[in-house]
């Protein structure tokens, strides 16, 4: 994954950032506060904080997937492909979400296992141009003998993301406190939001690159 990102990291970051970093910062600075109770988890909050960022972020992830799978390709080509396959990708995710959600609610491991089996939906749509059902079937078939390895990677990735989120929150809070003490409260809020957004963008890029690499190797 790292080898896939390293050669054109700047280009990949520039492609992903408008759909992840800017969206994350906009929500952090101007969006509704994250809900702390179930009563606060209204449909509007779910749409603004979960659904819309996921849909917009998917464009950047699909574009990164295409660029990793097609070295030498241009961002314009990648974004064109991402826009074209986005409906198929979202449709496949919609088909896979009920089973994954039930698995996570019942027992966490079954849900993660199902997620590992559908991990290659994006690459299947981007690289092979498959529709929703075909992409889902392709991912399920390709991961039949590698699901536990992919699951281990996903668990490590989730642990890394959790650690990075905690670290970035701590750093952001410390900088925010420092800047607030210096009379720059608004700047502190901006810096904190920027740190969190950069971490989210890097994780999205890593996930997209990993999917492309795994898909090509299993292919």
Instruction: Work out the widest C-alpha separation in the chain, in whole angstroms.
Output: 57
| Distances, alpha carbon 139 to alpha carbons 12, 51, 62, 186, in Å | 24, 23, 15, 45
- pLDDT value, residue 122: 94
- Torsion angle, alpha carbons of 207, 210, 214, 215, to 10: 60
Average pLDDT over residues 25-40: 79
Give me the chain's average pLDDT, please.
86
Q: Tell me, what's the pLDDT at 85?
A: 95
The percentage of the chain sitting over the pLDDT mark of 70, rounded to a whole number, equals 93
| Chain length of the chain | 219
Average pLDDT on 112-119 reads 89
pLDDT, one tens digit per residue, over 186-217 is: 676 777 778 888 888 988 999 999 999 999 99
Is-contact 20 27, C-beta < 8 A?
no
pLDDT score for 185? 66
Would you say 136 and 96 are in contact if contact means Cβ atoms under 8 Å apart? yes
User: What confidence category does residue 160 fall into, taking pLDDT thresholds of 50, 70 and 90?
Assistant: confident
Q: What is the dihedral of CA 167, 172, 173, 176, to 10 degrees?
A: 160
**pLDDT of 39-79, one tens digit each?**
777 888 888 888 899 999 999 999 999 999 998 899 999 99
d(CA 33, CA 181): 23
Can you tell me the mean pLDDT for 16-40? 84
- Please check the confidence at residue 141 and state whether its pLDDT lies above 70: yes
Average pLDDT over residues 80-100: 91
């Amino acid at each position: 994954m790292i080898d896939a990102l390293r050669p054109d990291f700047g280009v990949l970051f520039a492609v992903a950032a408008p759909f992840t970093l800017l969206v994350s910062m906009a929500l952090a600075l101007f969006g509704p506060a994250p809900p702390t109770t179930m009563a606060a988890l209204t449909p509007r909050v779910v749409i603004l904080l979960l659904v819309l960022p996921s849909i917009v972020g998917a464009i950047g992830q699909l574009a990164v997937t295409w660029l990793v799978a097609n070295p030498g390709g241009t961002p314009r080509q990648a974004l064109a492909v991402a826009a074209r396959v986005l409906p198929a990708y979202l449709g496949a995710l919609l088909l896979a979400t009920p089973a994954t959600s039930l698995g996570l609610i019942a027992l966490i491991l079954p849900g993660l296992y199902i997620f590992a089996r559908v991990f290659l939906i994006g690459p299947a749509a981007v690289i092979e141009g498959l529709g929703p059902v075909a992409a889902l079937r392709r991912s399920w078939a390709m991961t039949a003998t590698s699901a536990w390895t992919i699951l281990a990677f996903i668990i490590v990735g989730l642990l890394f993301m959790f650690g990075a989120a905690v670290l970035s929150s701590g750093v952001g809070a410390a900088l925010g406190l420092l800047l607030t003490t210096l009379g720059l409260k608004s700047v502190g809020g901006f810096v904190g939001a920027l740190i969190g957004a950069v971490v989210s963008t890097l994780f999205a890029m890593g996930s997209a690159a990993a999917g492309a690499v795994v898909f090509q190797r299993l292919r």
